[in-house]
Structure 1
C-alpha cells in the first residue's frame, strides 16, 4: 500500500513539474532601495506594506530619501465604515467597510514611475447589536485582510515597473 502511495505521489509531482507548475516566488522589484514616505507612524497600512516588502529579496527599505533609488509617497491612507442597511426598527443591519490607499512612486531624480494611483478594497458585513463585541473583532479582521490585500497589490505593481 505504501509503495502505491509513493508511486501516485511521484506521478503527481512529475505531472506538475512537466506542465511548468512552480510555487509563487517573492516578486523582484527593479530597484535595490526604497523609501516609504507619508505613512503615519502607527498606520496599519504602513505595517502591512512593510511586511509585504520584507519578502522582496532584492529590495531593502531605507529611512532617508537620499539613500533611496525610488520613493513611495503616500497621499492618502484611510479606513472607512458606512451603514448600508437598517432594520424596520432603525437598527443597523449591514455595514460596508472600505480601506483606501492613494500613492505615487518617483525615482530618486524625481521622475514619475507610477502616477497618482488609488487602490480601494471593500467588504460587506452583517451586524447585530447583541453580537457587538464579536462583530467588532470581525471588523478588525476584515480591515487587516483588506490592508494586506492592498499591500500585495502594491508590491505586484512595483514589480511590474520597467525602469
Structure 2
C-alpha cells in the first residue's frame, strides 16, 4: 500500500468518525429539545404491584410494567398472586394496586387555513390513576397526568405525518411513565401500612347528685 492510499484511507476514516460524532450530537440535541430524558431505575418501597383498569393492548401499561420490572418490582395479575409470591395467606403490605381510571391518547386540530385545510394539530396523552394498598384502602388519591404536543400538518404528506404523530404519542407516553416512576419511588414504607382507625376515648359517667327529696330525707 503506497503512501497516497494510506493517506486517503486515513482521511476517509477521520471523515466517517466526524460524521458519526455530529450525528450523535444531533440525536442527543433533538431528544433533549423534546423533553426526553434517559430513564433510570428507582428503589421502590413495595415489592409487587398489580396494574388494573388498562385495556388489554394498552402500550402505556406495557411500558410501565417493563419499567417497574427493571426497578426490581414484580408485576402480578392479582392480589392472590401477590400473596402466593410472598408465601402468605394474606396480601403483604409490600403489595400495591395501580388502577388506571383513564388511559387516552387523541389528536385535535389546532389551526386551519383559509381554505379549511389542517395546518397544525395537537397530540394529547392523558392518564388518570389512583393507587391502593393490598387491602383496598387508598394510598394515593386519584390524580391526572396530561401532556400535549403541537405539530404542523400537511395533507400531501399524510403518511409521514402519521408516523410523526405516533412518535409524539410515544415520547409523551415515556414522559408519563417517568413521572409515574418518580411518584411511586416517593412512597415510603410506612405509607404501605393501613393506618388504624382512631380510638374514641371512653366516656366516664360521673355519679349523679342526689335529688332534693332524698337529700331532705337523709337529714
**Among candidates 76, 79, 104, match of residue 65 of structure 1:** 79
- 1:48 matches 2:74: no
Does the Cα contact within 8 Å between 1:70 and 1:105 map onto a contact in 2? yes
Show the 5 A alignment for 1:117-132: 117-132=143-158
Deviations 1:49-103 (A, max 9, x none): 112212212x111111234410001101001110000011110000001000010
Q: Is the CA contact 2:99–2:130 (under 8 Å) kept in the aligned structure 1? A: yes
SS in 1 for 2:106: strand
Q: Which protein shows a greater Rg?
A: 2
Query: Number of matched residues?
Result: 140
| Matches of 2:75 and 2:157, distance apart in 1 | 41
Q: Which has the higher contact order (CA 8 A, sep 6+)?
A: 1
Q: CA RMSD in A?
A: 1.5
Q: Can you give the 5+ residue segments of structure 1 that lack an aligned partner in the other structure? A: 1-22
User: Could you tell me which residue of structure 2 aligns to residue 87 of structure 1?
Assistant: 113
TM-score by length of 1: 0.81
The answer on 1:96 being equivalent to 2:111 is no
Structure 2: tracts of 5 or more residues without a match? 1-37, 83-94, 192-219
